A and B are shown apart, each in its own frame.
Chain A
Amino acid sequence: MNPTMVLCWSCRGVVPTGEGFCPGCGIIQPPDPRRDHFASFALRPDFTLDLAALDRGYREQQQRFHPDLFATRGATERRYSMEHVTRLNEGYRILKDPLLRGEYLLKLAGFRSQTPENSAPSDPAFLMEVMELRESLEEVDLKRGDALGQLTRLRNQVEEACSGELLAMTQYFAAWFDSRGQGSLEQAARHIDRLRYFIRFIEELDRKEESFFS
């Protein structure tokens, strides 16, 4: 049961839930913890996201709530400002990143993944694919002249695989928003798991590449 209004902590006037500032006295209100990250930036919850609109929304919200604007105010106002912006930063981090955005959408939809986060892929064919990639990465000898070229080829290969997963996620999430069919969510979750493996792989590749430069 969500109340639709609360009382302003400062003037005790009525504030509609989710308003950042009291319409009566103009004082900053605490953030609404139930509000989802899409709503914080005035965006429709979806996997396909207009990144320019996210950036714009992020800037606009920062210009309302950032602690710098409350530096001369009382401790309560400063705390609420910090809470708002901490949430905004968290939301921005999640929505900007397709993997985190996908996971977040699953969470919003109440979907619980069957596979624990750090387990090996359950799909044997995919497991083989990941193991082969790892072997190729381990075989890259940084002392050899063509090491960077090999790393770049591997990177391109995996980035292409990532694009495939993203495309699949886009389609299954769209299907879910159309029909709310649980099957679409399961499919989306499967591709999110695959994307996660590929992204971890790229992180490892980054580390190897960085050790080449330093």
Chain B
Amino acid sequence: MTVLLDIAEPGQSLRPHEVRSEHRKRVVGIDLGTTFSLVAAVDLQGKPACIPDPAGHVACPSVVCYPPKGGVVVGDAAVVLSAQFPADTVASVKRTMGRSLEDVQASEHRTSYALAAGDGGMVRIITSQNNLSPVEVSAAILKTLAERAEDALGGALQGAVITVPAYFDDAQRQATKDAGRLAGLEVLRLVNEPTAAALAYGLDHGREGVYAIYDLGGGTFDISILRLTKGVFQVLATGGDSALGGDDFDHRLCEFFFQKVGVEKPTPDVLQRVRQMARSTKERLSQEDSVTIALELSDGKTWEIPVTRTHFEEMIADLVRATGIPCRRALKDAGVGAKDLQGVVLVGGSTRVPMVRQFVKDVFGREPLSDLDPDQVVALGAAIQAEQLSGNATGDMLLLDVTPLSLGIETMGELVEKIIARNAPIPTARSQDFTTFKDGQTAMAIHVVQGERELVNDCRSLARFELRGIPPMTAGAARIRVTFQVDADGLLTVSAREETTGIEQSVAVKPSYGLGDAEIERLLREAMVHGEEDWKKRLLHEARVEAERVLSASGAALREDGDLLDEMELKRVKASMLALWEASQKEDHEAINRARETLDKETVFFAERRMDRNVRRVMTGRKVDDFQ
């Protein structure tokens, strides 16, 4: 065998800037958050940046509206529609991912939309249009972000990294991956949110040492302890609460408002309004010492309710304190003390609350770092990881993550036998031998659970399956080896094998909480059927967005420099603007684009004159020397 070509040593392939742009893959990082979602990509210089929508906003509210007459509206527009269709607007869907109806109802949250139980008790969302799984709602958000990114990157996406709370269990991770598939994305990897944040931080600053990442988002809390050494991000321990976040702060304020006005069962629209009011009150109380809200009820009566920061802090004190236990446990699991930390990084919008900052400072005994935008840092880190996984960049950076919760199986007396301990680095595999407990027993039920508690009922049930065909033997003679394999996404596969006969059963743990493969296929097929319709809708949407942009830019130009035009010219420009506005109210995207081009042409000379004037403005009052 002759090797004539230069063979690169493994791990020594092209440096990031050597990947030619036509070979770069279009990949993104997506932070699929409880209240907001973001999409980010890495530019040719290797810098990650969040991609804004046409209005310039990077944060897309994780709100999806299914208006009664059809269609799906995501983001800011859905927030606007939520006032009109509160029962058809889904917010904070992340709280329901991979959860049963029972789980969701156990939380103290009220939803303005109706919930029901689906297959295996899994929660479904009922709107007047349809009956949806949380996976479908999340997919709608992912699709919107993917389209935004495709517009910015100029073509179909070739892969995405989606972030999940580190403390998400297997069912929640599986549901998130399913949502990605349903949105038509190739999910390169699920990455834990605090780890992604660390990536953005570490690369930005070339930091080394042990760091704690305190991530309090809208609906989830994570704490991760990481060691950064020469580009290797090693997660030492992680912990948290997958149902605790800023939403809970809002919720406490809502309850307070309802109690003040004496409303026990608010209508969906009142609930919706009060919730938005609570959120803005919380945000303002991060800056101000007291806030007074005005609430108008359906009976026309207006209430004015003052809230002080001190009072708000009393309402949320127990929630904030509840984050302390996972922090102490994570430090202990990592085998480090607070004094060994190089720094504590704040992630998530809820870390803007002053009480949270003070609490973090008290727990870790130091001032936390927050020099990157806590809302964006997770998406930025995810983009960096997507770039690595796609082969666009082969830096020396590497993420070594862990599984957040112990995995085990049920044994006699409803006890849990742990097979993989929490905070085990992934990928990982462990086996444990079990035996039969009755003479002649030919089958064995295997119940896979996740959690730290000792009783099965206190842990999350992930899957049940049966190993059949064990040859009849005396009790205790069979040797059944159960193997757990957790892959790099943190997803579990369990297999069981009777060693004397080699009989084997294996299941990818696809809990009843996720969508089955068949269901995903059906939904994808339906999406194809509606594909053409969707495409037209999208073109129309794009044409309207562009028309709006041109109209508002022209309006601003006329306000500033309208005096540069004579009366006739002004009339012509205004007529073209009116024609474009009229076209944008109709459904024909081609007509809209034609009207826009006409306006563009009509304003070329206007733009030239404005340019001249601006150049003269800048030069006025300066000597020629200043320009040499």
Contact = CB atoms under 8 A, between A and B. Distances in A.
Interface residues of A, number: 30
Interface in A58-85: 59, 62-64, 66-69, 71-72, 82, 85
A71 B427 CA distance: 14
A89 B10 contact: no
A165 B328 CA distance: 28
A214 B325 contact: yes
A68 B429 contact: no
Contacts, number: 74
Given A63-B11, A63-B232, A72 B429 contact: no
A67 B391 CA distance: 12
Interface stretch (A21-29, A36-44, A110-118): A21-29
Interface in B464-516: 485, 487-488
Interface string B48-62: 000000000000000
A62 B7 contact: no
B329 A210 contact: yes
Given A71-B189, A82-B488, A26 B9 contact: yes
Interface in B284-328: 325, 328
A63 B10 contact: no
Contacts of B485: 86
Contacts of B487: 67, 82
B86 to A, nearest CB: 37
A42 B22 CA distance: 41
Given A63-B398, A85-B427, A71 B188 contact: yes
Interface string B368-379: 000000000000
Given A26-B9, A63-B396, A82-B487, A11 B1 contact: yes
Q: Of residues B9, B394, B426, which shows the largest number of chain A Cβ atoms within 10 Å of its Cβ?
A: B426
B391 A89 contact: no
Interface string A104-128: 0000000000000000000000000
A66 B10 contact: no
Contacts of B332: 206
A82 B389 contact: no
A86 B400 CA distance: 12
B615 to A, nearest CB: 49
A93 B302 CA distance: 63
Contacts of B388: 68
Nearest to A28: B10
Given A24-B1, A63-B398, A86 B189 contact: no
Interface in B398-448: 398-400, 424-430
B232 A93 contact: no
B427 A82 contact: yes
B3 A24 contact: yes
A190 B249 CA distance: 55
Contacts of B399: 68
B234 interface: yes
Contacts of B1: 11-13, 24
Nearest to B335: A96
A46 B332 CA distance: 27
B424 A62 contact: no
B451 to A, nearest CB: 14
B598 interface: no
A55 B3 CA distance: 36
A173 interface: no
Contact of A59 (B7, B189, B230, B389): B230
B144 interface: no
Nearest to B12: A26
Residue from the set B10, B11, B426 with the largest chain A CB neighbour count within 10 Å: B10
Contacts of B229: 55, 59
Contact of A62 (B10, B232, B390): B232
Contacts of A69: 11, 394, 398
Contact of B428 (A25, A66, A90): A90
Given A62-B398, A63-B396, A71 B390 contact: yes
Contacts of A26: 7-10
Contact of A66 (B230, B325, B400, B429): B400
B363 to A, nearest CB: 12
Residue in B188, B425, B430 whose Cβ sees the most chain A Cβ within 10 Å: B425
A86 B11 contact: no
Given A62-B400, A213-B328, A86 B8 contact: no
Interface string B196-237: 000000000000000000000000000000000110101000
B427 A89 contact: yes
A47 interface: no
A86 B10 contact: no
B429 A86 contact: yes
A198 interface: no
A213 B325 contact: yes
B425 A92 contact: yes
Contacts of A62: 232, 398, 400
B389 A89 contact: no
A59 B429 CA distance: 19
A86 B427 contact: yes
B132 to A, nearest CB: 31
A208 to B, nearest CB: 14
Contacts of B3: 24-25
A178 to B, nearest CB: 31
B534 to A, nearest CB: 30
A8 B232 CA distance: 30
B389 A68 contact: yes
B7 A25 contact: yes
Contacts of B390: 71-72
Nearest to A25: B7
Contacts of A86: 427-429, 485
Interface in B516-564: none
Nearest to A73: B391
Nearest to A55: B229
Contacts of B10: 21, 26, 28, 64
B188 to A, nearest CB: 6
A11, A59, A68, A82: residue with the most chain B Cβ atoms closer than 10 Å: A68
Contacts of B429: 86, 90
Contacts of A92: 425
6 contacts: A59-B229, A63-B232, A68-B389, A68-B488, A82-B487, A89-B425
- Give me the 7 closest cross-chain CB pairs, A-B, nearest first: A71-B389, A67-B488, A89-B425, A72-B391, A59-B232, A86-B429, A82-B427
Given A64-B10, A69-B11, 12 more contacts: A28-B10, A63-B232, A66-B398, A66-B400, A68-B388, A68-B398, A69-B398, A82-B427, A86-B428, A89-B426, A210-B329, A213-B328
